Structure 1
Amino acid sequence: MELFWIPLAAFVIDAIFADPSFFPHPVQLIGKLLDKLEKTARKNFSNRFGGVLSLLILLLMVFVVVTTCIGIPYVGWIFALYFAWSGLALGSLLSEGTKAVQAVASGSLDDGRKAVSMLVSRDVSESTEEELYKTLAETISENFNDGIIAPFFWLVLSGPVGLWLYKATSTMDSMWGYKNEKWIDLGWAGAKFDDLLAYLPARFSAMFLQCTANLAGLGSGRGVWDSVARDAAKMESPNAGWPMAMAAHLYGRPMGGSAVYFGKVKEKPVLGVGDEAWDKATLIQLIKHIRLAAIFGCGLLWLAVSLLRLVF
């Protein structure tokens, strides 16, 4: 029964109240644990082996903590609901994305750059207004999968434990998954496992954006899937390009191109067609579209898995 009602309750609570702020978020605790694991791994093991061992230790600890908490008699369901709620990020993505758009539109580039820098790992200190809007479009569409569809997918399949095994892996990938000399080996295991866990959800996220294109005022969205697949295949990640490419094609505004990471310019593949720039109005439309696609997609996932459980 908990697998039936908790995902829906968590989705609604997250959409209304966003992340709980009354005590440290589990991702923050995972981040602190990863900092300690990094020091131990670099000191005692080769980077590749240390990364694999760190991932296994992380997943084991997350499994034990979440399983123990939700197994407590009488109050375990409260922990289960909390872990489900805190593992979803729709409310935060929409609210923080909207705030960043408003900051960029305020007329102060410094305020806009500061707001966008809180949401991305790239250097935006020299970005123009158009570049800031494009950066926001990229991170909002990518996080539609990473922060909403993928965790909800694992929540409905395997409960809060499965969700947090995914979130722990995703957090490790976001902290260690850079393809530079410092992280390429230590972050290898987390990046590969994250690719595996997000493979299906990433494609679902693109499909949900396409299915709700009409409701978002973009037309039917028919005929773009093959182009989206070709664009997504250009990306280093097998998953990140799917929701980004779908948004780029549906809105007729490109994503990708030059970006600065750790002081170095990186040329990312260009996704989508057209030469119109992202702007405030289009970003607000995308944020509303993300909300519609999340409601549709998570509802569909919940219904499909619930029916499968009834049948089998």
Structure 2
Amino acid sequence: MELFWIPLAAFVIDAIFADPSFFPHPVQLIGRFLDKLEKKARKNFSNRLGGVLSLLILLLLVFIIVNTCISIPYAGWVFALYFAWSGLALGSLLNEGTKAVQAVSSGSLKEGRKAVSMLVSRDVSECSEDELYKTLAETLSENFNDGIIAPFFWLVLSGPVGLWLYKATSTMDSMWGYKNEKWIDLGWAGAKFDDLLAYLPARFSAMFLQSTANLAGLGSGRGVWNSVAQDAAKMESPNAGWPMAMVAHLYGNPMGGRAVYFGKEKQKPVLGSGNTVWDKHSLVQLIKHIRLAAIFGCGLLWLVVSLLRLVF
């Protein structure tokens, strides 16, 4: 019964109230633990082995904590609802995205750059207004999967424990998964496991965006799937390109190109076609579109998995 009602309740609470602010967010706690684990891993093992062991330790610890909390008699459902709610990020993503769009459109590049920098790991200190809008479109699209569809997918399949095993892996990948000399080996295990866990959800996220294109005022979205698949294959990640490429093709505004990470310029694959640019109007439309796609996609996942449980 908990697997039946908790995902829906958590989705509604998250959409309305966003992340709970009355308690340190579990992702923050995982981040602090990873900072300490990094030092131990680098000191005692080779980077590749240290990364593998760190991932195993992290997943075991998360499994024990979440499973123990939700198994407490009578109060377990409260912990289960909390872990489900805090593992979803629809409310926070849309709230922070809206604030960033407003900051960029306010006319102050300084304020716009500051707001966008809070949402991305790249350096946006030299970005123009158009580049800030494009950066926002990219991070909103990618996080539609990472922060909403993928965690909800694992929540409906395996409850709060499965959700937080995914979130722990995703957090490790976001902190250690950079493909540079410092992180390439230590972050290898987390990045590969994250690729595996997000493989199906990433493709579902593109499907849900396409399915709700008409509701978002973008037309039917038919005929773009092959182009999206070709563009997604250009990305280093086997998953990130799917929602990003779908958004780029549906909106007719390309993504990718020049980006700066840790002081080094990088040319990312260009997704989509055309020469139009992202602006305030298209970002506002994208935020509304993501909300629609999240409602449709999470509702469909919940319905399908619930029916399968009844049948089997």
TM-score with structure 1 setting the length = 1.00
Q: Which residue of 2 aligns with 1:237?
A: 237
Deviations 1:135-175 (A, max 9, x none): 00000000000000000000000000000000000000000
Q: Which residue of 2 aligns with 1:50?
A: 50
Q: Which residue of 1 aligns with 2:201?
A: 201
After TM superposition, the structure 1 = structure 2 runs for residues 45-194 of structure 1, keeping only pairs within 5 Å, are 45-194=45-194
Whole-angstrom CA distance in 2 between matches of 1:99 and 1:64: 37
After TM superposition, the structure 1 = structure 2 runs for residues 19-58 of structure 1, keeping only pairs within 5 Å, are 19-58=19-58
Whole-angstrom CA distance in 2 between matches of 1:266 and 1:45: 31
Q: Which residue of 2 aligns with 1:254?
A: 254
Deviations 1:58-95 (A, max 9, x none): 00000000000000000000000000000000000000
Whole-angstrom CA distance in 1 between matches of 2:168 and 2:93: 18
Matched position secondary structure for 2:219: coil
Which residue identity is paired with 2:23? Answer: F
Whole-angstrom CA distance in 1 between matches of 2:183 and 2:267: 19
**Unpaired runs of at least 5, structure 2:** none
Matched position secondary structure for 2:218: coil
The structural deviation recorded for 1:230 is: 0.1
Q: Which residue of 1 aligns with 2:270?
A: 270
Which residue identity is paired with 1:211? Answer: S
Whole-angstrom CA distance in 2 between matches of 1:275 and 1:18: 35
Whole-angstrom CA distance in 2 between matches of 1:304 and 1:36: 40
Q: Does residue 288 of structure 1 match 2:288?
A: yes
Whole-angstrom CA distance in 2 between matches of 1:247 and 1:63: 35
Deviations 1:185-205 (A, max 9, x none): 000000000000000000000
Q: CA RMSD in A?
A: 0.2
Q: Which residue of 2 aligns with 1:210?
A: 210
Aligned positions, number:
312
The structural deviation recorded for 1:284 is: 0.3
Which residue identity is paired with 1:305? Answer: V
Whole-angstrom CA distance in 2 between matches of 1:186 and 1:128: 34
Whole-angstrom CA distance in 2 between matches of 1:142 and 1:255: 11
Matched position secondary structure for 1:103: helix
Which residue identity is paired with 1:129? Answer: E
The structural deviation recorded for 1:22 is: 0.4
Whole-angstrom CA distance in 1 between matches of 2:199 and 2:108: 39
Which residue identity is paired with 1:14? Answer: D
The structural deviation recorded for 1:23 is: 1.2
What stretches of structure 1 move > 2 A for 4+ residues in a row? none
Which residue identity is paired with 1:174? Answer: S
Which residue identity is paired with 1:61? Answer: L
Which residue identity is paired with 1:288? Answer: K
Which residue identity is paired with 1:76? Answer: G
The structural deviation recorded for 1:305 is: 0.1
Whole-angstrom CA distance in 2 between matches of 1:300 and 1:17: 22
Which residue identity is paired with 1:122? Answer: R
Whole-angstrom CA distance in 1 between matches of 2:77 and 2:33: 25
The structural deviation recorded for 1:274 is: 1.0
Which residue identity is paired with 1:90? Answer: L
Matched position secondary structure for 1:82: helix
TM-score with structure 2 setting the length = 1.00
